[in-house]
């Protein structure tokens, strides 16, 4: 079942934070998979964007909003449960450093 807290399957943004609450399908209905920034009228807004370019774009956007805190910075100051509690209570987005288990994963 769809929840507005579900992230966009392209950029990772919670759909609850999307001003349009999701992109649109070709028939005009709301997409429950993609944000309005990524998907409009049944098409991706940037169909040729690479994963690396999307990561750079999202990173730049989050830094501009002052809500991005790298996991390693937060985690070196607090235990993992404390760091997660601080992040979740503050609605921060955490970027965990990539490793084999979580390559490219955004924790929210």
- 37-83 pLDDT per residue, tens: 999 999 999 999 988 888 888 877 766 655 555 566 676 777 878 87
- What residues contact 57, with CB distance under 8 A and at least 6 apart? 11, 49
The per-type count for the chain, helices as H runs and strands as E runs, is 3, 5
Which pLDDT band, with edges at 50, 70 and 90, does 85 fall under?
confident
Provide the token pair at 100.
């084999």
CB 5 within 8 A of CB 14: yes
Reading phi first (left if > 0) and then psi (alpha if -120 to 50, else beta), residue 104 is in: left
Please state whether the predicted TM-score (pTM) of the whole model is above 0.75. no
Q: Is the dihedral of CA 12, 16, 21, 25 positive or negative?
A: positive
């Amino acid at each position: 079942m769809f929840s507005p807290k579900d992230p966009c399957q392209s950029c990772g943004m919670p759909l609850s934070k999307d001003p349009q609450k999701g992109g649109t399908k070709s028939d005009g209905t709301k997409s429950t998979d993609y944000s309005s920034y990524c998907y409009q009228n049944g098409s991706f807004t940037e169909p040729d964007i690479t994963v690396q370019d999307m990561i750079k774009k999202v990173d730049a956007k989050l830094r501009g909003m002052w809500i991005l805190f790298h996991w390693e910075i937060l985690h070196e100051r607090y235990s993992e449960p404390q760091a997660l509690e601080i992040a979740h209570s503050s609605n921060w987005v955490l970027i965990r450093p990539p490793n084999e288990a979580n390559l490219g994963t955004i924790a929210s």
